[in-house]
């Protein structure tokens, strides 16, 4: 499919006020699949498009991350009790978890949830957060919340509890489940997703060596985490990351924009 066809579809959808968010979220889905951080046709990404956070975009039921297109994303209202009775109803866990997050945590405009390999290993062992052993793990020092009350597949009380466990952090380890990142933009939430999985990969592989870990002091870890905070928040780094992802997809998978 040529770029011109994709651009033609984009022009046709200029009337959609959420089109750019649709394209960015579709790009996040496609790259997550390329990074092998997806799980079959499960897991969900969402982005709120209303000031109160209640109206949000989310992936449709049964669609593989590698196939998702911008136009396919559902627009839901977290306060609409009739949502699950519709023909195009979303996955029940997506509706429960993401609906609760957008209804109760309006500052979490973007919510990304996966069961990626290394973060899920971390969620499966008795370990609160990540020890600071390299720059990536230090990014999350004292900046990760942990939910240890797993009681099923994210429905009902489980979903509501997650909204209170996150606190002011941008990463939530969902014990016995997976993890979630949030952000005020799709770019920031995806950058957190990418780096947290990278950090977990380093940590789990370090454990597999059986050698003693080289853990830095709390002072150094906090200093590095603050440097990360400043870098991500003030340099446009996350935006550049997403922009480069879109350039790759424009060249190799332009149908994500359809």
What tens digit of pLDDT does each residue of 19-63 get?
999 999 999 999 999 999 999 999 999 999 998 989 999 999 999
Query: Taking the domains of the chain in order of start, what are their residue ranges?
Result: 3-250
Distance, in Å, from the CA atom of 234 to the CA atom of 192, rounded to the nearest integer, reads 15
Q: How many CB atoms lie within 10 A of CB 96?
A: 21
Mean pLDDT of the region 72-100: 94
The structure tokens listed for 92 are 């029940």
Residue 65 has pLDDT above 80, yes or no: yes
Average pLDDT over residues 174-182: 96
Q: Three-class SS string for 83-117?
A: HHHCCCCCCHHHHHHHHHHHHHCCCCCEEEEECCH
CATH of domain 3-250: 3.40.225.10
What pLDDT score was predicted for residue 40?
95
Is 70 exceeded by the pLDDT of residue 117?
Answer: yes
Long-range contacts of 48-52 (CB under 8 A, 24+ apart): 48/102, 48/106, 48/108, 48/109, 48/110, 49/17, 49/18, 49/21, 49/75, 52/106
The CA distance from 258 to 102, in Å, is: 26
Q: Which two tokens stand for residue 212?
A: 């003693």
Q: What is the pLDDT of residues 122-160, one digit of tens each?
A: 999 998 889 999 999 999 999 999 999 898 775 667 788
The pTM score is 0.93
Tell whether the model's pLDDT for residue 69 goes beyond 80: yes
In contact, 68 and 256? CB cutoff 8 Å: yes
Across the chain, mean pLDDT equals 92
pLDDT attached to residue 3: 46
Supply the pLDDT for residue 33.
98
């Amino acid at each position: 499919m040529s770029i011109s066809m994709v651009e033609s579809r984009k022009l046709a959808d200029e009337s959609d006020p959420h089109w750019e968010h649709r394209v960015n979220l579709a790009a996040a889905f496609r790259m997550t699949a390329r990074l092998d951080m997806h799980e079959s046709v499960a897991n969900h990404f969402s982005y709120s498009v209303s000031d109160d956070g209640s109206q949000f975009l989310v992936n449709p039921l049964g669609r593989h991350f590698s196939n998702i297109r911008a136009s396919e994303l559902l627009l839901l209202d977290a306060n609409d009790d009739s949502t699950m009775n519709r023909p195009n109803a979303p996955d029940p866990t997506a509706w429960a978890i993401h609906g609760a997050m957008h209804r109760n945590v309006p500052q979490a405009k973007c919510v990304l949830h996966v069961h990626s390999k290394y973060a899920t290993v971390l969620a499966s062992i008795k370990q609160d957060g990540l020890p600071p052993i390299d720059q990536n793990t230090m990014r999350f020092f004292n900046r990760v919340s942990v939910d240890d009350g797993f009681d099923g597949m994210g429905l009902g009380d489980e979903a509501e509890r997650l909204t209170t466990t996150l606190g002011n952090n941008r990463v939530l380890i969902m014990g016995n489940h997976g993890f979630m990142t949030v952000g005020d933009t799709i770019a920031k939430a995806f950058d957190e997703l990418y780096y947290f999985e990278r950090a977990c990969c380093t940590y789990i592989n370090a454990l597999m060596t059986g050698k003693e870990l080289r853990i830095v002091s709390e002072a150094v870890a906090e200093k590095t985490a603050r440097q990360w905070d400043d870098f991500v928040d003030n340099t446009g780094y996350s935006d550049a990351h997403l922009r480069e992802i879109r350039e790759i997809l424009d060249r190799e998978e332009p149908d994500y924009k359809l």
